[in-house]
Amino acid sequence: MIASMAGALPTEFVMTQISYAAVLPMLLVFGGAMIGVLIEAFAPRRFRHEAQVTLTLLTLVAALVAIATSARDHQGITAAGAVVIDGPALIFQGVIVALAAVGVLAMAERFTADEADAFTQSGAAVPGSPREAAAVRLGATSTEVFPLTLFAVAGMMLFPASADLLVMFVALEVLSLPLYILSGLARRRRLLSQEASLKYFLLGAFSSAFFLFGAALIYGYAGSLELSDIATAVQNQSGMDGLLIPGVLLVVVGLLFKVGAAPFHAWTPDVYQGAPSPVTGFMAAGTKVAAFGALLRVLYVAFEGVRWDWMPILWGVAILTMVVGAVLSVTQTDMKRLLAYSSIAHAGFILVGVLALNQKGVSSTLFYLVAYGFMTIAAFAIVALVRSSGNEATHLSQWAGLGKRSPIVAGVFAFLLLAFTGIPLTSGFTAKFAVFAAAVAGGGTWLVIVGIICSGITAFVYIRIIVLMYFSEPAGDTMVMTPTVMSTLCISLGTLVTLWLGIIPSPLLDLASQSTLFLR
Amino acid sequence: MSLVNYIYLSAILFAIGSAVVLVRRNAIVVFMGVELMLNATNLAFVTFARMNGQLDGQAIALFVMVVAAAEVVVGLAIIMSIYRARRSASVDDANLLKL
């Protein structure tokens, strides 16, 4: 064995070739985040907010341009088989960057104050302590949320583009660690926010350990963590068979945790409720896109050969996710928790598309993720506007009669709820239709039937809120903040994309169906 | 001694780690459980590297250590801030968020 190890050592050092043009978008985002950290260290406090917001938005726009120009022409597997830039990877990265740009607009909302409204001025100070009061008096800001967001975005971009389970694990952590911190930085109800952060962290670390142990078992089976090598080993049935299936299942559990599928959804409602609303929107959209991208790549590229072993289990997970999300959203009384359970139900619908296991499955999943991402960011940006005695009015009863108090905000929110339901002329309808059609073509008729029943249940929940907003008398001191340019832009972009994808879905559907081929 | 025994050991350590996460109340001890799970995984990686006659598994273990260190930084910061606000690191006391 020693001799064989010595034989395996390369005699000469070979430098790894990296196609920098292909990974330029990720490098730009990482670079922007680093500069953001420098600004945080050196820029005077009063310039920081403007500087960080400008830098973050410019970085994201530059990354989007780089994806559309430089990376698109340099597709292939690069960095010694660690990163793969192919059709699906590019389109997932583009979607993540676009969603992040819209999400950052909501985070930058500051109404009439000098600092971002949703974030605490001193995350390190104990809530209600003299230190916190001193920080507020001094006009401290939490502008570090913007570099943290950029780091999370970079991790999200790497996640669906990793061709190696180790890189995927590193990307998983790079995207998760900033999100754990971001969810603990809410300005109001800080104890709740810190608790959300703790729960997210402990459960997230727990699930990433499962992912890693699964990767270790697969390494034992295939002798490599590269997805293409794993696919070859699976096809040749070489290696210790007992390791493969447990490994596959543990890796998939780690990914399902990130998308918030039942029975790994327990963190979702708590974290969505406790985190600052703009962060919740960004996290709900971005993490889902990235994790579904990684899940698609792992299932379609590496584990396709043993699909008969994992398909029945994932069928069960998809059905359970849809049912849990739909049924529990009926009993919710808090708006953010309700949207969290709705996100669980949506994760189930997207899983139906993933399980189609054909090209339509990839393109419809992509379309659903874009549609869901934009509506959810806009919805959480609206939740951040509705206030009662200074706090966000998240209890459903506080939303009663909102249509009379603020017709525009209530109208836009009602439109987004119709899109969540999947009413025609919204992106939600096209998306649901696309995933269900793909699933029927892939032999998942039973999944589709459960999906349609669950859509019916969630429709009841959303319509009930619309009725509450329009047909009941206003009660309490609920008021709607007047949004500045930032939130207005965020909400309008989210709503316009939702409307546009509902009326003219074909450009995005075409783009998605042209980029469904995973490089191996 | 057969190399497979190390795999059994790593599986047992992983199981102990996950039992600690599920059973213990103190957030720091829960976190130690997670670390035990990650280190059990490292043992599996190194053993498999030896079995396959490669060095990859050992390099992977180094990556995992770095990631685990980053996780410790963020995790302890979050647990510290909770502890200072409540004078308790029990995960049972963190119960404001409920159905």
Task: List chain A domain ranges.
Answer: 311-515
> For A381, what's the count of Cα atoms within 13 Å in the CB-facing half-sphere?
36
Pairs across A and B, CB distance < 8 A: 126
Please give, one letter per residue, the 3-state secondary structure of A358-372: CHHHHHHHHHHHHHH
Which tens digits make up the pLDDT trace of B53-79?
Answer: 888 999 999 999 999 999 999 999 999
Please tell me the distance from the alpha carbon of residue A90 to that of residue A58, in angstroms, as a whole number: 19
Domain definitions of chain B by residue range:
4-86
Please tell me the distance from the alpha carbon of residue A299 to that of residue A283, in angstroms, as a whole number: 23
Hey, what are A502's tokens?
Answer: 């509902």
Quote the DSSP letter at residue A129: S
Asked if pLDDT for residue A1 goes beyond 70, the answer is no
Check residue A131 and give its pLDDT. 86
Asked if pLDDT for residue B98 goes beyond 80, the answer is no
Pairing of strands A391-392, A83-85: unpaired
Query: Quick one: which of A37, A181, A194 has its CA closest to A128?
Result: A194
Distance of CA B8 to the CA centre of its chain: 17
Hey, what are A493's tokens?
Answer: 């972009």
Please tell me the distance from the alpha carbon of residue B24 to that of residue B30, in angstroms, as a whole number: 6
Check residue A318 and give its pLDDT. 95
Q: Contact B31/A202, CB-based, under 8 Å?
A: yes
Asked if pLDDT for residue A437 goes beyond 50, the answer is yes
> For A259, what's the count of Cα atoms within 13 Å in the CB-facing half-sphere?
32
Q: How many CB atoms lie within 10 A of CB A54?
A: 13
Please tell me the distance from the alpha carbon of residue A84 to that of residue A231, in angstroms, as a whole number: 15
Q: Name the amino acid, one letter, at A256.
A: L
As a whole number, mean pLDDT of residues A80-85 equals 90
Which tens digits make up the pLDDT trace of A265-286?
Answer: 999 999 999 999 999 999 999 9
Query: Quick one: which of A500, A511, A371 has its CA closest to A435?
Result: A371
Asked if pLDDT for residue B92 goes beyond 80, the answer is no
Hey, what are A344's tokens?
Answer: 């669980």
**Interchain CB contact of A327 with B (< 8 Å):** no
Burial tier of A31 (Cβ tally within 10 Å: 0-12, 13-18, 19+)? middle
User: A-chain residues within 8 Å CB-CB of B79?
Assistant: 198
3-state secondary structure (DSSP) of residue A148? helix
ipTM for this prediction:
0.95
**Residues in CB range of A95: below 8 A, 6 or more apart:** A289, A366, A369, A370, A373
Q: Which residues 15-54 in chain B show a CB within 8 A of chain A?
A: 17-18, 21, 27, 30-31, 34, 37-38, 40-41, 44-45, 47-48, 50-54
User: B-chain residues within 8 Å CB-CB of A124?
Assistant: 81
Pairing of strands A83-85, A386-388: unpaired
Which tens digits make up the pLDDT trace of A328-380?
Answer: 999 999 999 999 999 999 999 999 999 988 888 899 999 999 999 999 999 99
Q: How many CB atoms lie within 10 A of CB A117?
A: 21
Please tell me the distance from the alpha carbon of residue A308 to that of residue A312, in angstroms, as a whole number: 7
User: A-chain residues within 8 Å CB-CB of B89?
Assistant: none
Q: B4-86 domain in CATH 1.10.287.3510?
A: yes
Which tens digits make up the pLDDT trace of A375-396?
Answer: 999 999 999 999 988 788 889 8
Residue tagged 């972009």 (tokens): A493
Asked whether A172 and A159 are in contact (CB, 8 A), the reply is: yes
User: In the beta sheet, which residues pair with residue A84?
Assistant: A77
